[in-house]
Structure 1
Amino acid sequence: MNLKAASHSSAAAAKPAPQSAAQLRWWALVVLALAQFLVVLDASIVNIALPSLGSDLNLNSELLSWVITAYVLPFGGFLLLGGRLGDRYGHRLLFLSGVAGFTLASAAAGLAQSGAWLLAARAFQGASAALLAPAALALVARLFPDPRDRAKALGIWGAVAGIGSAAGVLLGGVLTSAFGWSAVFYVNVPIGLLVVLTLPSLVSRDRRGERNALDMPGAVTITAALVALVAALARIERSGWTSPVTLALAGVSAAALAAFLLIERRASQPLLPFSIFRNKSVLGGNLAMFLIGGATTGLFFALSVYMQQVLLYGAMKAGLTQLPLAGALVLVAGVIPAIVSKLGTRLTLAVSLFVLAGGLVWLAQAPSEATFAGNLLLPSIAIGLGLGGAFVVGTDLAVHGVSEKEAGLASGLVNTGQQVGGAVGLAILTTAASMRTTNLLGEGASEANALTGGFQWVFLGAAILSALAGILVLLIVRSSQGKGR
């Protein structure tokens, strides 16, 4: 009897306690968030290094813009396909493959000896990011099925994304000044290796489920449509809306999108089953994240250029001044689950978007001789508070109520919405800013005042996008949805 008791005691001790398994998921979240940090960081960290990079590799201004575009095109274009591949082959496998590819591409970019070499590495980075980003979010949804735990996890996720956005300018300036432009790519390598080596011990293998045939015609047409759209929007900044190249790319995008819609209606196993939008959470969340992507991309671009060209801040100072915004974002991301439990998802998201819009309107009042403490600090904090709630709750809403077999699709959709929304928003807002600046210069305004007037239009346009997102959430998402979560 004693031997049996001892045997039972030993067996019990050998089994991992439920609490340790729960703790492992939070460590897994940290590792997944690190990978997301890389994706967000890489969207801005390269900007500061462009002049140095162009000088070393003999790249003119046209080719320098392709250092950004070569990353954005495959990233935005392959996101939906990447999400669906995760559903078919497993999110863990796709995530690890994406991180490994991103790490290798970053090392190759740092070693680049020519412009062609660098652009190829950047394209591979973007394609790898399109695999890892939706898979990472799908894994978060799988690891945290309980709505309360998921809200906390997405709070951390949103905080990391906010830190990555704000840290890009600062880290880009520090690394380029201290170690040269290649350091902005090499910084990804140790983080990527850490993620690849640690995640397998924290997340179980993908379940062997039913592997339906992949809708290749749908995958080809939607990828072509997204790539052509992002390329057209990127072209607008250099050639304008009526450029033959811009119009041709827009036409290709429209034709490919029409073909995709026709294919999906007839496909027995479509890449994008439109029935997913019957879920009002998914529809409202994706519309909100599309508009948030447009608002935030325009905001961070204009704010960085305004500080450096008008206020004459150096790269380091411009980066440091964004820390209060990032701090407010992290703060609200940590408390957002408690707010959701009181107000519900719908109202929390709408209020966050209206706070963001208010902060942007406030920022638009800053003059050409603004001081940080007097004109920028408080609006930045308000923007950070609104962004923190909007990112976390918007992402949660966009994947709420989705089955595990469509988790990758939902994650790919929300990431695609953010990327395409960012490209559309940036093209529209920068065009409006350019028109405003040109008009003010024609009226005799100083260059500083004319530039400031253009940036003010960007901030006001971003505020309109944020407020529109809040209104759509109130109209589309049911008032009972998310209550008590």
Structure 2
Amino acid sequence: MSIQSRAGLSGDLSPQQRVRAMCGVYAVLFLLGLETTIGGSILPLASTELHGLERFPLVGTLQMLASACTTLIAARLGDMYGRKYLLQLSIALLALAGLGCGLAQSMDQLLAMRVLNGVAIGMMAATAFAVPADVFPDPAQRARWQSLSGVMFALASSMGPLLGAMLSDAFGWRSALFVVPVAAVLVLAILCFIPANRPLHRQEQRFDFVGAGLLCVFIVSSLQALQIRPHVPMAMLFCAGWLLVCGGAMVGLWRHQFRVAQPILALDILRSKGVRHVSASTLLSGAVLFILFFYSPILLHTVSKLSLVQAGVAMIPMLVGLPVGSVLNGLLFHRQRRPQRLMAAGALFLFMGCVLLLALGPDSSRLHIFVGFGLSGLGLGIINQNQVLFMQMVAPMAHIGAATGLLSTARTYGGAMGSALLGLVLGLSGIDQALVAGLWLALLAALLLIPLSLRLQLS
């Protein structure tokens, strides 16, 4: 679905084609929201039944790791060959992964399917989020259309926990995991009607296989270095080994990118201070987003003593806050001389929400829970949309897909780092301490986002 060419094909699209393209994006984001929230509420139960609760953090870490490895690769392929067929392939893989999770008979099988799920999500993120920049070159117009993206994601997200919990209570956890494959069939049908313009290039396109390999080694080794288990002999030695591999891969990747004509990372965009600042902010918000989405059901179950259904209801304010923040940002964006202030305001809302969630206890009122999640969702809705808009404003048009892929990779990698750190705390202490550590990490990240947002340079 790449609408980019030598001169940028966005101007060649009719209004009907633009609407069809965005309908495809909305359908994909609806499916993504459904998958994220159903998985977050059901997978703890699945891990318990498969006798692997102590390995539960790996469910998130492996998924995020696979997604982070895939995103930039898929983004580069989208810039080269177009995004429509990559989107369709990602939906098919997501359906296959969902079926595999629902049929898993062991924790190892569940983890393997979550890796495939991460590959699919990485492809979806790299392609779906780049489409609005292809279709609408004007940032203000793009902001209005992207605000509806948040609505679709939140609509599915609000349905996910409740639907998953209700199906799990009635028919078992496996039935809940079959929802996404069924919905994926409908999304694939919608994607058949979107435009499939293949981008034109002045020179022959070559894929950077060496750079892609080094990137994957760097991501895997950096996260493996955090998988410390004190009871395992020579654990620190293994950690040091992974750190050496990580450092070597990072140096090799950086040098290789300067030597190759068409690098996987497109280092030209990294020369911009604005791109670096947006990427750093996305790492932080990605960690917070993953912690709140993935661990909130366990947090509410263990700390506030809520059932899965009650936990799903309690998370609705966060899921509603996401589109509210996105729509509010779309309405205010074009009126701001310094839109960075909007993102700083979102970070402040997120910080206040995390403070309230950190204060949760067995006697916390429903209002306390709802306000905490609502403020967090409102802040994340504002932050996430601005990050996409800012990245597409500061990046060259020829590298829009790569820049959006870098943003998605940073968000996913931040989530993987947050999951890995929680897994480390879980191995050292226990689930209660890991949840508290996760909330403190979210609180610190939200606090750092405030000054970082104000320092962003968009010109």
TM-score, structure 2 length as denominator?
0.85
Which of 434, 445, 466 aligns to 2:446? It is 466
Question: C-alpha separation between the residues in 2 aligned to 1:140 and 1:151?
Answer: 9
The C-alpha deviation readout for 1:126-183, integer Å capped at 9, x for no partner, is 2222222211111121122221221012222233444555554433322222233333
Residue 282 (structure 1) aligned to one of 261, 275, 280: 275
Asked if 1:397 is matched to 2:377, the reply is no
Task: Kindly state the Cα deviation for residue 413 of structure 1 after the two structures are TM-superposed.
Answer: 0.7
1:96 is matched with 88
| 2:366 aligned partner | 372
Correspondence for 2:457 among 474, 477, 484 = 477
Is the alpha carbon distance of 1:281 and 1:51 closer, same or farther for their aligned partners in structure 2, counting shifts above 3 Å? closer
Mapping of 1:121-132 within 5 angstroms? Answer: 121-132=113-124
The answer to whether the Cα contact below 8 Å between 1:432 and 1:457 also exists between their aligned partners in 2 is yes
Contact 1:162–1:388 (CA under 8 A) maintained in structure 2? no
Native 8 Å contact 1:39 1:133 kept in 2? no
1:207 and 2:199 matched: yes
* Mapping 1:45-194, distance limit 5 Å: 45-50=38-43, 53-54=46-47, 58-61=50-53, 66-112=58-104, 117-163=109-155, 167-194=159-186
Q: SS state of the match for residue 207, structure 2?
A: coil
Tell me which residue corresponds to 1:342.
Answer: 335
SS at structure 2 position matched to 1:388: helix
5+ unaligned residues in a row in structure 1: which ranges? Answer: 1-17, 439-449
Higher-Rg structure is: 1
Tell me, yes or no, if the aligned pair for 1:86 and 1:135 is still in contact at 8 Å. yes
CA distance in 2, matches of 1:188, 1:272: 32
Cα 1:198/1:246, change in 2 over 3 Å: same
How do residues 400-419 of structure 1 correspond to structure 2 at under 5 angstroms? 400-419=393-412
User: In structure 2, what is the Cα distance between the partners aligned to 1:380 and 1:68?
Assistant: 21
Counterpart of 1:385 in structure 2 is 378
1:254 aligns with 2:247: yes
Using the TM superposition, name which of 200-209 and 37-46 deviates more: 37-46
Q: CA deviation at 1:262?
A: 1.8
Cα deviation code 1:358-378 (max 9, x no counterpart): 2222333334421112x2232
Question: Is contact 2:139-2:389 (8 Å) kept?
Answer: no
Query: Is the Cα–Cα contact under 8 Å of residues 356 and 382 in structure 1 kept in the other structure?
Result: yes
Identity of aligned residues (%): 25
The structure-2 alpha-carbon separation of the partners of 1:336 and 1:268, relative to structure 1 and needing over 3 Å to count, comes to: same
| Higher-RCO chain (CA-CA 8 Å, sequence separation at least 6) | 2
Distance 1:227 1:239, change over 3 A: farther
**Contact persistence 1:228–1:252 (CA under 8 A):** yes
Kept in 1: contact 2:65–2:416 (CA 8 A):
no
Q: Aligned to 2:363, what secondary structure does the other structure show?
A: coil
Contact 2:98 2:177 (C-alpha < 8 Å) held by counterparts: yes
For structure 2, the 5+ residue unaligned runs are 1-10
CA shift in 2, pair 1:115/1:387, >3 Å: closer
1:430/1:458 contact within 8 Å kept: no
Asked if 1:358 corresponds to 2:352, the answer is yes
Contact persistence 2:96–2:181 (CA under 8 A): yes
8 Å Cα contact 2:125-2:408 kept in structure 1: yes
